[in-house]
Amino acid sequence: MLKNNKNLTEQCADLASGKETSVSLTMKALDKAEEYSYLNAFVVLDREKSLDQAVASDKRRANGNCLSPIDGVPIAVKDNYLTKDYPTTACSGALPLEPSGQDATIIANLREAGVVIFGKTNMDEWAFSPTNVNSNIGPVLNPHNTNHVTGGSSGGSAAAIASGIVSAGLGSDTGGSIRMPAAACGIYGFKPSYGRASRHGVLPLSWSLDAPGPLASSLKDIELLLPYFLGEDSKDLSTVSSAKFEVVEHNEAINVIHLTGEGLERSDEIDTAVKRALEASSAVVKEAGLSHVDNYYEAWEAIIFSEAASYHQPLLKKNPGGFSSGLRAKLEAGSQLSALDVLQAQRLRSQLMHTFACELGDWDIIVTPTLPVTAPTLNEEEQEFGGKKVHAHKSMLWFCVLGNMTGYPCVTIPIGLSKSGLPIGMMLMGKPNEDEKLLAIAIKLESALKKHSV
Amino acid sequence: MLKNNKNLTEQCADLASGKETSVSLTMKALDKAEEYSYLNAFVVLDREKSLDQAVASDKRRANGNCLSPIDGVPIAVKDNYLTKDYPTTACSGALPLEPSGQDATIIANLREAGVVIFGKTNMDEWAFSPTNVNSNIGPVLNPHNTNHVTGGSSGGSAAAIASGIVSAGLGSDTGGSIRMPAAACGIYGFKPSYGRASRHGVLPLSWSLDAPGPLASSLKDIELLLPYFLGEDSKDLSTVSSAKFEVVEHNEAINVIHLTGEGLERSDEIDTAVKRALEASSAVVKEAGLSHVDNYYEAWEAIIFSEAASYHQPLLKKNPGGFSSGLRAKLEAGSQLSALDVLQAQRLRSQLMHTFACELGDWDIIVTPTLPVTAPTLNEEEQEFGGKKVHAHKSMLWFCVLGNMTGYPCVTIPIGLSKSGLPIGMMLMGKPNEDEKLLAIAIKLESALKKHSV
């Protein structure tokens, strides 16, 4: 499906060459949004607001005042980013339906670059689910097969990109919420290192795990977008300063650790796809296991449940009816945890970081499948793979949580389709704060992969 | 008392000029330790081990193989640093009395520099008290007045320095455990930024607050010692990389925020001493208040109690009798806290950091007294100052916890004696990871102060 759509890089070139205008791109996006409205990708989409921004962009370009290479491109925004002109509901009934009047730092950055903020996308209620079935406006459907989920919680952005409505979108990732829908929809998703992307104005789910990032149609698109995400922000004290964003071509050999074994199972067809992709690349691949994977998953749960419960306590007291019963139960479970549960979880987290940093030997990237199995159907409660039966939520999160527990940067790239026609993604994890190097390696690895397929 | 003793910088000069040898310095230290044994500053002190190291140092120096400027100086070590040749008891009955066979990273650094590791110093049991009364070998007595406490938990190192046994020592600081005894004993203490000093091999009390650092007889001594404390350590993942340690003379004006007001009270005589010191300096001083100070103190308590309970759980189950009943009660209280208590505390912590970083305007250093009142007597349960009656533990921690809650670097310098002859300290807090600049400012400020007194 993607083959017929232009990616962000191509759209920018078309704008630069005059082949397209921001208005023509935005009109096409509006038409496609109508064509694919059955996917339920958008919470709100305003024709007039979008076209107003496009007209302004075209005027700038005509006057030689183009703000950036991405000036005029329509980009979809997950509904947990504050946007001054749209309400921000997090697909929950608990928040007011008036526009906040405020922009998240990343939104402000993109507006300064001239981007057309093209509507707000569907997501799991407060980002606290991995399927995008749990939204107060109903599930998002997978463009590859509408019986299947997109994965969540950034499912609306992923579906809008995979269906070609827009070439890129914004997501946030606490346990895989960018990478899971990107993989399930056959597109690209990047979770920055914890502390490199500003979270100011992005509604929190679990503040020690959350990372906002882009979903897009190519790695070059990600490279174009990341500068607007990364950078120290005095409004988010967790952000760190770093050198100017620059992706330098990676010419050295790539040392890959491919994580396998107990607790890291995947379906045969996904295993084959990842192994083929790694073989096709010129990388030096070493397989390694990881002990206590289940403990790490439980630690991640303790952290996200307790931090979400802590954050939501005031609003939950004030407006309990604004939350779904499912989410209320999760928040209640979080508030029942003890200090020792949470601190034990944090210690396991340090242990996992130590393992990755010191015990796996030399590596440039750590690779796993993004999902251990293709996306479940909308009603599927349990998935079977690698000799295990796993709740569909846990199977989605299977590998991705490792990225949030460590805070390391991760990118998912599509590596093919299953026999049933559903996308398969491969996840690459880089060293902390080396987001640029991770992207450079992903670009090199994918280009080797593409040569091999030709 | 200090006037008669040489500081570390002078001792190094004497070694370099041949006026002293490591053996002569170590012999003097051993003699003084005997003279002042009633202070109860040492847990263990081994004449032979100390002299062996001194002999080796003198041999190196004679052969022109001196390892560093501090080669041969005897330095006292708080009993929560692992040392391969001494047991490490943390002044608790719960740990084995055999040497661990391991050196903390900082100890290893100092050994490589040729320092004489001169015995292990008394401390509060597991570092979990601010007076150094709660040790399994009994309290340390204040060299200025033996009816008074030294402050804790690094009281043994402080007393050993203030009495002139050694010129410098090692401490650790979770709520002020370096700064409180340094101030109460009239010497200098430096708590590095969280993450700049390696904690590998320093027994933890509360891992998100702990910082190891030096106590010494002058700011130049601190400058000599800090390089052995600071630096990224692969064995402590909380450490960050930074430029080579270098203190550059501070020639610009110094912008000071002097914290005062509700929750930040101090006795009149201490208030006068701090104000005089600030007036004598050439600094530009602005007074500012801080709201919710009591909340921050309670948040600090929730963090230290819960983290200590989490860390000690296994040993407490195995060997409950090894802990004092007082410490057992504290650990029990910590294990009763809920996840929400701890997370709320962490959010208050972020709020405090935000206040310091963004709401106080421009500043180079934040100044408070180190203690709001001079050191209590050994039996004093409550202290009165600024119209308040406060538990003596809380009064010790009054200002110091702000340094641990934010993780900012802090230094305490002596600024005179009270009418009763007890030392008064002033605390300077710098910007995160700008430990060098803080020290440079402290040096400049103190030199202005000294000129003024002359």
Which pLDDT belongs to residue A4?
64
B124: left (phi over 0), alpha (psi -120 to 50) or beta: beta
Please tell me the distance in Å from A330's CA to the nearest CA on chain B. Answer: 14
Query: Using a CB-CB distance cutoff of 8 angstroms, which residues of chain B are in contact with residue A337?
Result: 338-339
Query: Using a CB-CB distance cutoff of 8 angstroms, which residues of chain B are in contact with residue A335?
Result: 338-340
Residue B31 CB-density burial (10 A; 0-12 exposed, 13-18 middle, 19+ buried): exposed
**Residue A179: phi, psi to the nearest 5?**
-75, -40
Q: Which of A217-231, A238-252, B425-439 bottoms out in mean pLDDT, i.e. has the lowest?
A: A238-252
> How many Å apart are CA A194 and CA A209, to the nearest integer?
7
pLDDT digits (tens, 9 = 90+) for B288-314: 999 989 999 999 999 999 999 999 999
Q: Which of A401-410, B108-117, B229-238 bottoms out in mean pLDDT, i.e. has the lowest?
A: B229-238
Active-site residue, B6 included: no
Percent of chain B with pLDDT over 90: 92
CATH class of A2-228: alpha beta
Pick the CATH number of B1-454 from 3.90.1300.10, 3.40.50.2020, 3.40.1440.10, 3.30.450.20: 3.90.1300.10
Percent of chain A with pLDDT over 90: 92
Which pLDDT belongs to residue B454?
56
Neighbouring residues of B317: CB distance < 8 A, sequence distance ≥ 6 = none
Which pLDDT belongs to residue B5?
87
Among all chains, which residue has been given the structure tokens 């501070």?
B250
pLDDT digits (tens, 9 = 90+) for B321-330: 999 999 999 9
Examine the pLDDT at B230 and tell me if it is beyond 90.
Answer: yes
Which pLDDT belongs to residue A282?
83
Which pLDDT belongs to residue B96?
87
Alpha-carbon torsion (B326, B328, B334, B337), positive or negative: negative
Which pLDDT belongs to residue A358?
87
Residue B358 at interface with chain A, using a CB cutoff of 8 Å: yes
Q: Which of A17-21, A288-292, B108-112 bottoms out in mean pLDDT, i.e. has the lowest?
A: A288-292
Is residue A358 helix, strand or coil? Answer: helix
Please tell me the distance in Å from A79's CA to the nearest CA on chain B. Answer: 24
Percent of chain A with pLDDT over 70: 99
Which listed residue (A177, A193, A267, A395) is catalytic?
A: A177
CB A69 within 8 A of CB A192: no
Instruction: Name the residue of chain B whose CA is nearest to A303's CA.
Output: B339
Q: What is the mean pLDDT of residues B120-136?
A: 98
pLDDT tier at A428, thresholds 50, 70, 90: very high
> How many Å apart are CA A399 and CA A411, to the nearest integer?
12
pLDDT digits (tens, 9 = 90+) for A62-74: 999 999 999 999 9
Q: What is the mean pLDDT of residues A256-282?
A: 96
CB-CB under 8 Å, A335 with B337 = no
Which pLDDT belongs to residue B237?
83
Examine the pLDDT at B439 and tell me if it is beyond 50.
Answer: yes
What part of A 219-238 touches B (C-beta under 8 Å)? 234, 237
Q: What is the mean pLDDT of chain A?
A: 96
Q: Which helix (H) or strand (E) holds A426?
A: strand A423-429
> Peptide bond before A418: cis, by omega within 30 degrees of 0?
no
Residue A377 at interface with chain B, using a CB cutoff of 8 Å: no
CB-CB under 8 Å, A343 with B237 = no
Considering only the beta carbons, identify the residue of A234, A342, A347 that sits closest to B339: A342
Which pLDDT belongs to residue B4?
65
Residue A337 at interface with chain B, using a CB cutoff of 8 Å: yes
Which pLDDT belongs to residue B2?
47
Residue to test with chain B: of A304, A337, A338, most B Cβ within 10 A: A338
pLDDT digits (tens, 9 = 90+) for B135-144: 999 999 999 9
Residue B331 at interface with chain A, using a CB cutoff of 8 Å: no
Q: Which of A302-306, B94-98, B127-131, B175-179 bottoms out in mean pLDDT, i.e. has the lowest?
A: B94-98
Percent helix, strand, coil in chain A (nearest 5)?
40, 20, 40
Which pLDDT belongs to residue B94?
93
Q: What is the mean pLDDT of residues B277-297?
A: 94
- Antiparallel, parallel or unpaired: β A42-44 and A116-121: antiparallel
Which pLDDT belongs to residue A1?
46
Q: What is the mean pLDDT of residues B168-182?
A: 98
Residue B277 at interface with chain A, using a CB cutoff of 8 Å: no
Which pLDDT belongs to residue B282?
83
Residue A332 at interface with chain B, using a CB cutoff of 8 Å: no
- CA A441, chain centre distance (Å): 19
> How many Å apart are CA B425 and CA A11, to the nearest integer?
64
Query: Using a CB-CB distance cutoff of 8 angstroms, which residues of chain A are in contact with residue B310?
Result: 339-340, 343-344, 347
CB B70 within 8 A of CB B114: yes
pLDDT digits (tens, 9 = 90+) for B147-158: 999 999 999 999
Q: What is the mean pLDDT of residues A284-302?
A: 95
Please tell me the distance in Å from A183's CA to the nearest CA on chain B. Answer: 31
Q: What is the mean pLDDT of residues B353-366?
A: 93
| Alpha carbon distances (Å) from A134 to A76, A90, A150, A153, A317 | 20, 11, 12, 9, 21
Examine the pLDDT at B346 and tell me if it is beyond 60.
Answer: yes
Active-site residue, B177 included: yes
pLDDT tier at A454, thresholds 50, 70, 90: low
pLDDT digits (tens, 9 = 90+) for B183-216: 999 999 999 999 999 999 999 999 999 999 999 9
Please tell me the distance in Å from A74's CA to the nearest CA on chain B. Answer: 34
pLDDT digits (tens, 9 = 90+) for B68-81: 999 999 999 999 99
Examine the pLDDT at A112 and tell me if it is beyond 60.
Answer: yes
Examine the pLDDT at A453 and tell me if it is beyond 80.
Answer: no
| Alpha carbon distances (Å) from A100 to A29, A201, A205, A233 | 25, 10, 18, 20
pLDDT digits (tens, 9 = 90+) for A122-133: 999 999 999 999
Taking the C-alpha atoms of B115, B120, B102 and B197 in order, what is their torsion angle to the nearest 10 degrees?
A: -70
Examine the pLDDT at B107 and tell me if it is beyond 70.
Answer: yes
pLDDT digits (tens, 9 = 90+) for A340-349: 999 999 989 9
Residue B306 at interface with chain A, using a CB cutoff of 8 Å: yes
Q: What is the mean pLDDT of chain B?
A: 96
Considering only the beta carbons, identify the residue of A335, A337, A353 that sits closest to B237: A353
Amino acid at position B96, single letter: P
Active-site residue, A177 included: yes
Q: Mapped to the 3 state alphabet, what secondary structure does chain B carry?
A: CHHHCCCHHHHHHHHHHCCCCHHHHHHHHHHHHHHCHHHCCEEECCHHHHHHHHHHHHHHHHCCCCCCCCCCCEEEEECCECECCEECCCCCCCCCCCECCCCCHHHHHHHHCCCEEEEEECCCHHHCCCCCCCCCCCCCEECCEEEEECCCCCHHHHHHHHCCCCCEEEEEECCCCCHHHHHHCCCEEEECCCCCECCCCECCCCCCCCEEEEEECCHHHHHHHHHHCECCECCECCCCCCCCCCCCCCCCCCEEEEECCCCCCCCHHHHHHHHHHHHHCCCEEEEECCCCHHHHHHHHHHHHHHHHHHHHHHHHHHCHHHCCHHHHHHHHHHHCCEHHHHHHHHHHHHHHHHHHHHHCCCCCEEEEECCCCCCCECCCCEEEECCEEEEHHHHHHCCCHHHHHHCCCEEEEEEEECCCCCEEEEEEECCCCCHHHHHHHHHHHHHHHHHHHC
Residue B338 at interface with chain A, using a CB cutoff of 8 Å: yes
Which pLDDT belongs to residue B452?
81
Domain boundaries along the sequence of chain B:
1-454
Which pLDDT belongs to residue B403?
98
